[in-house]
Chains A and B, each alone.
Chain A
Amino acid sequence: MNVSTAVFYLIALITVVSAAMVAFSRNIIYSAFSLLGTFMGVAGLYVFLGADFVAAVQVLIYVGGILVLILFAVMLTHRITDVEITNRSAGTLPALLVVGVLAYLLIDAGLETPWAKAKQLVYEATAGKIGDQFLYTYLLPFELASLVLLAAMIGAVVLSRKEIKE
């Protein structure tokens, strides 16, 4: 087993174990910090898949933006000194059953289906190619994305401001 395979196993383990911590931890702070492991692990998987730009975007937006937002919301909505269980869960057994069957079916489908194979695996810088595609093939979705982000920003500001009554 060479080094890159070992690193791949390590990254896969970090991703899955952190996701399990998010799902099963009884303290919401631990859940939120475990999300960091999942996001970084997924970024590592992107590097293994030759998607350097997506990996960088994942680290910048998920770890730098979304995770900070989630921690911010956790800290604002919980009194940290409370020792009680902050992350209640209900209906665990039926959910475990449904999710287990679904995971089995997904893994089975992934292993059994004869997926199309690319002629060769390419490992090259993707940022230029993605930038070209954004400004040719995907120009309309790209512009719509900026509109969506503007609408989300205005919506978040409107929702979270204090109501001032006359």
Chain B
Amino acid sequence: MSPNDLSSYLIIGAIVFALGLFTVLTRRNAISVLMGVELILNSANINYVAFSHFSSGNADGQIYAIFVIMLAAAEAAVGLAIVLAIFQLFHTIDVEAAETLKD
């Protein structure tokens, strides 16, 4: 592992992705699930920028990373608005409480 080695960034990205997926899978709190999604998006961004630096040598990967950051901002705004609406309706943000659609 060194700063001038593609694989070290891929390993960090894989670990952050796994931790984000673990957060999404196990958490019962809707805000925590959104935090897990942010971790997953960040790990994808690390890979984009790392491949842009080590493999392609042009800025395309960085532009995709900026698009991902933009979509993450939109996702966070809408997702947290939905969480607040669920909290007003059910007085909890446990994701298992908001399953009335299937009844």
> Which residues of A does B touch, CB under 8 Å?
4-5, 8-9, 12, 15-16, 19-20, 22-23, 28, 31-32, 35, 38-39, 42, 45-46, 48-51, 53-54, 57-58, 61-62, 65-66, 69-70, 72-74, 76-77, 86-92, 95-96, 98-100, 102-103, 106-107, 110-111, 115-122, 126, 129-130, 133-134, 138, 141, 145, 148-149, 151-153, 155-157, 159-160
Contact = CB atoms under 8 A, between A and B. Distances in A.
Contact of B19 (A19, A45, A51): A19
Q: Is the interface of B mostly helix, strand, loop or mixed?
A: helix
Given A16-B12, A66-B76, A88 B28 contact: yes
A23 B15 CA distance: 12
Interface residues of B, number: 72
B98 interface: no
A5 B82 CA distance: 43
Interface of B: 1-4, 6-23, 25-29, 31-32, 34-36, 38-39, 42, 45-46, 49-57, 59-60, 62-63, 65-67, 69-78, 80-85, 87, 93-94
B59 A152 contact: no
Given A8-B2, A69-B76, A31 B81 contact: no
B38 A35 contact: yes
Most buried by B among A92, A118, A126, A133: A118
A99 B21 contact: yes
A42 B73 contact: no
B31 A133 contact: no
Given A90-B26, A156-B81, A58 B69 contact: yes
Contact of B3 (A4, A138, A145): A4
Given A5-B2, A145-B70, A31 B35 contact: yes
A156 B93 CA distance: 17
Q: Is the interface of A mostly helix, strand, loop or mixed?
A: helix
B10 A107 contact: yes
Contact of A89 (B11, B28, B74): B28
Given A99-B25, A159-B78, A160-B85, 20 more contacts: A8-B2, A12-B8, A15-B12, A20-B19, A23-B36, A28-B31, A38-B39, A49-B9, A66-B38, A66-B72, A70-B76, A73-B31, A91-B26, A103-B14, A116-B56, A118-B54, A133-B60, A148-B74, A159-B84, A160-B84
13 contacts: A19-B20, A31-B35, A45-B9, A48-B3, A49-B53, A62-B69, A66-B72, A70-B34, A72-B80, A118-B57, A148-B70, A151-B74, A156-B81
